[in-house]
Amino acid sequence: MLSSVFNEGTKKEFDTIKPHHFLDFLYDLAVCDRHDEENLSGNNNALLSRKFSDGEMKKIKFTPFVDDVCRPCNKLIDGVRCIDYFDDETTLNYGFRYKNDFNYQLDLKLNRALPKIFCFDKTQNMFDVLTALEKNLTSEIIDLYL
C-alpha cells in the first residue's frame, strides 16, 4: 500500500481509535495499566493505552472499523476482518460469535448515545473529547438517579 509506505517515517498527527478501545484506555488509567501481561495477538492496546495515560495522545479520530489498536494484530485478516472469537456461552446467547461483530455494534451504540464525542471520521483534540465526555457522562449518570 502506497499510503502506508508514504506515511512510514512521518509522525502521525492523530490516533485512529474505536470508541470501545478509548473506554478501555480510561479503564486502564483508573486501574494502573492492566496491560502488563504478554500480548500474544500483537495488537497495539498496551502501547496506545500508555500513550493515552502519559498524555501523549493529543488528537484522536474515532472509527467503528479497524483502528490503530487492531492494525498490527495477528488476528486481523487482510487488514479488514478480525477473526478473534468469543468462547463463552453468555456472549453467544447475545448472538455474537466474533468479537469484531460485537464490538462494531458496541461502537455504533456509543456513537448514537454520545454523537458529539464519538463522532466518526472527525479529528478531535483530546482535551475537547475528555472535557465533553466528563460533562456528558456526569449528567447521564445523574439523570439515572433523578
CA atoms within 13 A on the CB side of 12: 16
97-139 pLDDT, tens digit each? 888 998 999 999 999 989 999 999 999 999 999 999 888 877 6
Q: Quick count: other Cβ atoms within 10 Å of Cβ 15?
A: 23
pLDDT band, residue 4 (cuts 50/70/90): very low
Residues 144, 122: Cα–Cα separation, whole Å = 29
- Per-residue CA distances from 15 to 11, 29, 47, 74, 112 (Å): 11, 18, 12, 20, 21
Burial (CB < 10 A; 0-12, 13-18, 19+), residue 89, is exposed
- Mean residue pLDDT of the chain comes to 83
User: Which contacts (CB < 8 Å, 24+ apart) does range 84-90 have?
Assistant: 84/41
pLDDT band, residue 141 (cuts 50/70/90): low
